[in-house]
Structure 1
């Protein structure tokens, strides 16, 4: 069905002036939580989701000896999610298949062309890029068409905590692309690791609030549980055996919270060192860095929309 038909089940529609354009850039098959964030965006009526771009996680596949072609696997995962959600009018684009080779690298692919075309399209609604994985597609688009930097905002879910930073998964997948982002003129809203890690849920919570919500709810829960055995590592403090972190839902949360919450500060963009830690430099552009988000507000919004659009 068309997305608008699904959103009608919410029973309310925000004013047209609230509309923002969103492109989701996602490594959906990396682990189990991207799908939750994708659906959160799709179930938010003021978000005009223009398309979903698949990105790779090739560094992880190489390090863990996993099957290659991670971008294609992410692409297929998005298609499966949309099929389970019964949404057939949102385009899905193939992204870059590997990290940038240099800061000047500008590989071409469907996702890069789509990002450029949408940024240059004449539309009064602001454009936000929800970056939920490797920064490769976005950096390649900025390298190929620097003029798009003034026409969009990148919602960067990644980077280590401030002030020092530390190696963080999304950055590790393409550090060069992250440096391109920070060195460019594009507006950046960063949600660092210590903030997105707060979007913690229990598996019983997901079983109660998500699994009963139609075919897509069952799919969301099942695919996450399928991922759990391979993603659990007792040496890694993010997972305990009965929890998960819906960390990518932050890219919806930052667009849903009101501007008076005081959850972010402005600071010079850090210099990303070879160690993937931060160095400060006063002559850098200013970026928005979140130090908190209202987890209850964001997750209840997701659960409520899911239940309204896919009643039990």
Structure 2
């Protein structure tokens, strides 16, 4: 991708913490795992912080639910609609189908309704008032929008749950199934806040007893979230489930709920390793999230929905 003239000082300014309501779009492979529905719900139920403009369905495959990214994208699209209904948020924002395939090359965008929407929507924003793009899935929709319209790099902040901490391998689900898209995002120069899996959002661990205590018998959304966690594991005694994706939302909720650093953007190699070149552009990287504060806030919002039958 041809580099843009955005300076590190401008990039750092865009990565600074912002108070108030953030205009946001979410890119999510909602049906791939149980953590996405928690993140989607949390985002939709936090209007004091997020004005959700659109939700994009991301492709996924390479797991027991599907081996076809097109099928995974459609499953995610339908799951987004399900979660919106359970949250009482039908029609609150646009929902767009994303790519049916992964990025085939670093200069080859995959056109989809999601990518085209982001490439157009972001033009209404600026470096002083950016659109926040939260990514919790494979990166093709976001990378394609960057390739279709490179100018949006000066108008958006990407918050992407992608690889592990830079002391570990980037070989995580959101990266290894869609390597070229990950390389585009890290190489693009876009203001990027990387949210690692190990050993950051891996701390977002809960259990069936905790969920039943905090969310049990509250409403249909809570019942559904508990049920999908229960279905994920056969034995629930002394067993925990990581809700990775909720950390990408939680780190934007309150300045004190995460610790971040500024560092140079690493390179994702074709061999799925991090390579460091300390002359590259700067990005943000989350080093720690406050597990208890994020879950407490999310559970209170989920549990306070109108009770069934009222």
Normalising by the smaller structure, the TM-score range is: 0.7 to 0.9
Give the conservation status (yes or no) of the 8 Å contact 1:126–1:152.
Answer: yes
For residue 137 of structure 1, the aligned residue among 137, 141, 146 is 141
For residues 29-53 of structure 1, the C-alpha deviation after alignment (integer angstroms, 9 at most, x for no partner) is: 1011100000111111220001110
Q: Distance in 2 between matches of 1:44 and 1:242?
A: 29
For residues 181-224 of structure 1, the C-alpha deviation after alignment (integer angstroms, 9 at most, x for no partner) is: 01102111011111011100011111221232211111122233
1:168 CA drift (Å): 1.0
Q: Distance in 2 between matches of 1:125 and 1:50?
A: 14
Q: Give me the TM-score of the superposition, normalised by structure 2.
A: 0.85
Q: Does 1:199 align with 2:204?
A: yes
Q: Does 1:77 align with 2:79?
A: yes
- Give the secondary-structure state (helix, strand or coil) at the position aligned to 1:256: coil
For residues 219-265 of structure 1, the C-alpha deviation after alignment (integer angstroms, 9 at most, x for no partner) is: 12223333435xx9xxxxxx99721111111121121121x677111
1:111 CA drift (Å): 0.5
Match of 1:287 in 2: 283
- Give the secondary-structure state (helix, strand or coil) at the position aligned to 1:112: helix
Distance 1:163 1:302, change over 3 A: same
Match of 2:261 in 1: 265
For residue 107 of structure 2, the aligned residue among 98, 104, 115 is 104
- Give the secondary-structure state (helix, strand or coil) at the position aligned to 1:24: strand
Q: Distance in 1 between matches of 2:145 and 2:238?
A: 39
1:122 CA drift (Å): 4.7
Count of aligned pairs between the two proteins: 284
Q: What are the within-5 Å matches in structure 2 for residues 251-262 of structure 1?
A: 251-258=248-255
For residues 143-174 of structure 1, the C-alpha deviation after alignment (integer angstroms, 9 at most, x for no partner) is: 00000011111111120222242411111120
Distance 1:211 1:173, change over 3 A: farther
Give the conservation status (yes or no) of the 8 Å contact 2:135–2:158.
Answer: yes
Unaligned stretches of 5+ in structure 1?
1-16, 233-238
Q: Distance in 1 between matches of 2:296 and 2:200?
A: 17
Distance 1:159 1:26, change over 3 A: same
For residue 184 of structure 2, the aligned residue among 176, 180, 187 is 180
Distance 1:212 1:261, change over 3 A: closer
Match of 1:236 in 2: none
Distance 1:178 1:42, change over 3 A: same
Give the conservation status (yes or no) of the 8 Å contact 1:27–1:74.
Answer: yes
